[in-house]
Structure 1
Amino acid sequence: METTGRLGVRGVAAATQGVPAEARRSVDGYLMADFPWYGLDEAFTGPRWLMQVGTAADGIVEYGSTGHGEEPSLRVETEMDQQRFTVVVTVAGRPVRDSADGTGKLEATSVSSAAWLAGSGLLSCTWPTRMERALRQDWLDQQTALAWELADDLAGEAWSGLSLPVDGVPADFHYRESEYGWVLAGSAGQNVHIGAYGRGMSAYGLGFAVVKDITRYDA
């Protein structure tokens, strides 16, 4: 049975699909968070941009994403294999708690939460635009359900281990590849979980670090 927490995460993730970049970019929500944001470390010198934060019903910021490289496009003339980007998802570590209206419970966040958000994020910017419209939603629903199942089974064969630096310290991540790109997820210090997804940029050479000034991403 899906809980309020899972429905909330899936709802916000779905709401970001197809939203124009200019509509998503606002640093205000990021500044309201009570946890640090993560992005690629200083070894990455390319463009950085904001996406969108996710909030609970009471307005508390629960997670958000920062983009690096070339912003992915769903335009038909843009080939997926020409895109080069990495998106880093930061998820606040939360325990099981009451929903804002007091009628249910919100799930505790975990590495699986970060894996789910990263997996669904990859789908939102790489789904096959040339597919017939009548089939597109069915495909997206199937792939979204699969992304959730994979996130729920991080010990499964679909995932491999990958060690990457977080604030200069090696950290363990769960990693998987698909024809659409790659996804990884793990935990960082300061009670947060990190997810990431991308295409055209190898995950093996990445490093993550706390974003010292989130307004750097506010294009």
Structure 2
Amino acid sequence: METTSRAVTREVTADTGRKVDGYLLAAFPWYGLDEAFTGPRWLMQVGSAADGTVEHGATGHGVEPTIKVEKPEDERFAVVVTVASRPVRRSADGTGVLEATSVSTAAWLAGSGLLSHTWPTQMDRTLRQDWLDQQTTLAWELADDLGEESWSELMLPVDGVPTPFCYRESEYGWVLAGTAGQDGPEGVHLGAYGRGMSAYGLGFSVIKDLSAYGG
């Protein structure tokens, strides 16, 4: 009879394998923080279209955030969101049209991702969903107009090339979004969000080996 620890280890390994499978199905390169970051790295999850095509996903860096933490401001993490660059296209069943992805898509995913790991400690838990709905709507509106004053430009290296990003800060953390590469199968839009780690010193690069993220 196997021990509980062995059973748990097997379950965790299987879960990690399932996560990696999703990343390996993508037809575009994944991005993460470059080699200047030496802390822990971890996989999050991918998002797929109805036909199973992988559209986007995220990789984590630092200490995995949790809404259960007593002082969220003490957390130190950065999440990089990779979004496939897609033009307007027909849906898999041919009955409709799928919207193109853009820098705004990356900004929206990053903004909503930050919110999912945010917990206003002074707020009653029963009000969290109302708060989340309100903040999510605001995040979408902000992502839809990256030219507004609430966004500033931040130049950060992507594969060693200085690249412009739209950047904004809030009491919950920071969000940024930009484009890496060219439009097409290999091109992607990048989003990122974090807390406790300054965005100003970050750099991004293609992930060559997912095993660095526990895969």
The secondary structure found in structure 2 opposite 1:126 is coil
| Comparing 35-44 and 98-107, the one that deviates more | 98-107
Counterpart Cα distance in 1 of 2:58 and 2:153: 23
Alpha-carbon contact 2:64-2:77 (below 8 Å) kept? yes
**Unpaired runs of at least 5, structure 2:** 1-13
Distance 1:116 1:54 in 2: 14
Distance 1:163 1:128 in 2: 30
Q: Give 1:130 shift.
A: 4.9
The aligned counterpart of 1:109 is: 101
In the alignment, the residues of structure 1 paired with residue 130 and residue 139 of structure 2 have an alpha-carbon distance, to the nearest angstrom, of 14
**1:37·1:214 contact (CA, 8 Å) conserved in 2?**
no
Amino acid at match of 2:194: G
Partner Cα distance (2:67, 2:93) in 1: 37
1:51 matched to which residue of 2? 44
Q: Counterpart of 1:216?
A: 212
Q: Aligned-pair distance for 1:61?
A: 0.3
Q: Does 1:160 align with 2:163?
A: no
Match of 1:199 in 2: 195
TM-score (norm 1): 0.86
Q: Structure 1 counterpart of 2:52, which letter? A: G
Residue 103 of structure 2 aligns with an amino acid whose one-letter code is V
Structure 1 ranges of 4+ moved more than 3 A: 22-25
Contact 2:79 2:192 in 1 (8 A): yes
SS of alignment partner, residue 185 of structure 1: strand
Does 1:124 find its partner at 2:121? no
User: Deviation of residue 23 (structure 1)?
Assistant: 6.0
Between the aligned partners of 2:88 and 2:113, the Cα distance in structure 1 is 24
Long gaps (5+) in structure 1: 1-21
What residue number does 1:4 align with? none
Match of 1:150 among 142, 149, 155: 142
- SS of aligned partner of 1:26: helix
1:183 matches 2:188? no
Larger-gyration structure (1/2):
2
1:68 is matched with: 61
Deviation at residue 26 of structure 1 after TM alignment:
1.4
Range that drifts further, 124-133 or 47-56: 124-133
TM (norm. structure 2) is 0.88
Matched, 1:88 2:80: yes
**CA RMSD in angstroms, aligned pairs only:** 1.6
How many residue pairs get aligned? The number is: 197
Q: Report Cα offsets for 1:48-78 as digits up to 9, x if no partner.
A: 0000000000001000000000000111x43
Q: 1:174 aligns with which of 148, 166, 169?
A: 166
Tell me whether 143-152 or 91-100 shows the greater mean CA deviation: 91-100
Return the alpha-carbon distance in structure 2 between the equivalents of residues 130 and 23 of structure 1: 34
